Amino acid sequence: MRVFPGRLSVSKTFGDIEAKRPRYGGNPNVIVCDPDIKSFKIQDNFDFIMIGCDGIFERLNNRDCVDMVWDRITEQINLSNKMGVGEGSHKGGKRDESKKR
């Protein structure tokens, strides 16, 4: 996605003078670099933490994100097993199938 005013994509627009300066047709309030920050304590029952940008969360819901991460974890475990690393060396890595998809 391109940002107007300016020519650069969202992640690059922080430094795009045409997007920021009114004399170049820009608006200093179009793109701001004030991040949303959430803090929390990591718990023993957390399987993973996902960090993503709006480009991911505009297209995928939370369930889709979780499923994609678990699919990737499963792929990596299966690849490790094929290479002879074995399941015993993996810490966790087991999906809780009791949770509804």
Note the pTM of the prediction, 2 decimals.
0.50
Residues 46 and 25 occupy one common structural domain: no
- Residue 93 in domain: no
Domain housing 3: 1-34
Same domain, 40 and 22: no
Q: Of 53, 51, 49, nearest to 41 (Cα)?
A: 49
64 band by pLDDT with thresholds 50, 70 and 90? very high
How many domains would you assign to the chain?
Answer: 2
Sign of CA dihedral 45, 48, 52, 57: negative
What is the average per-residue pLDDT within 75-88?
80
Q: What band does 83 get if pLDDT is binned at 50, 70 and 90?
A: confident
User: Which residues on neighbouring strands pair with residue 9, listed in sequence order?
Assistant: 2
What's the confidence (pLDDT) of residue 99? 54
Q: Quick check: helix, strand or coil at residue 79? A: helix
Q: What is the pLDDT of residues 17-50, one digit of tens each?
A: 777 788 887 777 766 667 778 889 999 999 888 8
Statement: residue 69 has pLDDT above 70 = yes
Is 77 contained in some domain? yes
